[in-house]
Amino acid sequence: MKRISWNQYFMAQSQLLSSRSTCTRLAVGATIVRDKRMIAGGYNGSIAGGTHCTDEGCYIVDNHCVRTIHAEMNALLQCAKFGVATEGAEIYVTHFPCLQCCKALIQAGIKAVYYAQDYKNHPYALELFEQANVKTEKVSIDKDIFLSFAENV
């Protein structure tokens, strides 16, 4: 069996995290990595113990679900909760971060954003990442990784 690249490994982790999402509109997963070690993971959904969109539907205000916390924010908040530094870390996300998550990632000291799919890529988010010298790179998810894994189970 061929060894997968780091990018594919961490993106696969984010894809797996997205399967825990309780958002009915878009399942997103995020993995924060420092020195090739996962330090946090997150997926989009409601607050811990709260009502989920999968249970009662989305709570839409101005065309946005206000019940949902984004995967990137959940991963950053996990680091904050447990006292794990994010300065100089990287994040792997299944979808390009929204503008608010972009700003939070920059403020948290994330140095690189790897994403699998474009999703409403905001021009200002791209501009902010560039101003902050945050690398952004699209990393396609290799579906064969999941297929070969399933064959070996």
Nearest to 95 by CA among 38, 39, 30, 42: 30
pLDDT tens string 60-117? 999 888 999 999 999 999 999 999 999 999 999 999 999 999 999 999 999 999 999 9
Of the residues 56, 72, 90, 130, only one is catalytic, namely 72
DSSP string, 92-111: EEEEPPPHHHHHHHHHTT--
Q: Report if residue 3 sits inside a domain.
A: no
Residues 30 and 91: beta-carbon distance below 8 Å: yes
pTM of the model: 0.92
Residue 146 has pLDDT above 70, yes or no: no
The pLDDT value given to residue 144? 74
Confirm whether residue 70 is marked as ligand binding. Answer: yes
Q: Report if residue 121 sits inside a domain.
A: yes
- Cβ-proximal residues to 38 (8 Å cutoff; 6+ apart), any chain: 10, 13, 31, 32
Confirm whether residue 65 is marked as ligand binding. Answer: no
Structural domain boundaries enclosing 104: 8-151
Residue 72: active-site member: yes
| Mean pLDDT, rounded, of the chain | 93
CATH number of the domain residue 67 falls in: 3.40.140.10
The pLDDT value given to residue 150? 59
Q: Report if residue 49 sits inside a domain.
A: yes
Q: Report if residue 1 sits inside a domain.
A: no
Q: Report if residue 114 sits inside a domain.
A: yes
> Cα(41)–Cα(67) distance, rounded to whole angstroms?
19
Q: Report if residue 2 sits inside a domain.
A: no
Residue 147 has pLDDT above 80, yes or no: no
